[in-house]
Amino acid sequence: MEIVEDHTLPPSPTAEDLLVIYLGGPIGEDAISRIENVGGVRVPSRNPYWDKHGMSFADADGYLLVLAAATGHNSIHIALRALL
């Protein structure tokens, strides 16, 4: 995944602009602390599914990161779990 930005355009996130990371297990307190320590703010999700199966965090621009305790539809969650 590559995240790019264009400083000439203002951020314009919507409630459905989500980066979902499937952890395949419980969400660790250390992951939550690291997200909060870099400015992530826990927020309720527009879709109650994500509140039931994970946690949503907003970044400074309003984009949303969802940590899902469930296993995703592919195995990418294994690599991402190591990051968190």
pLDDT, tens digit, 9 for 90 and up, residues 13-68: 888 889 999 888 899 999 999 999 999 999 999 999 899 989 999 998 899 999 99
Which pLDDT band, with edges at 50, 70 and 90, does 81 fall under?
low
| pLDDT given for residue 75 in this prediction | 47
Look at the alpha carbons of 79, 47, 38, 8 in this order and tell me if their dihedral is positive or negative: positive
23 found inside a domain: yes
Let me know if 64 is exposed, middle or buried by CB neighbors in 10 A (0-12, 13-18, 19+).
Answer: buried
Name the residue range of residue 28's domain: 18-83
Is there a domain that residue 11 lies in? Answer: no
Report CA-CA distances (Å) from 62 to 75, 79, 82: 27, 25, 25
Q: Is 8 domain-assigned? A: no
In this prediction the pTM is 0.75
Is position 30 within any domain?
A: yes
Task: Tell me, yes or no, whether 27 lies in a domain.
Answer: yes
pLDDT at position 76 is: 53
- In the sheet that holds 64-68, the strands lie side by side as 18-22, 64-68, 54-58, 41-43
The domain total for the chain is 1
Task: With respect to residue 71, please indicate whether it lies within any of the assigned structural domains.
Answer: yes
CATH number for the domain harbouring residue 78: 3.10.180.10
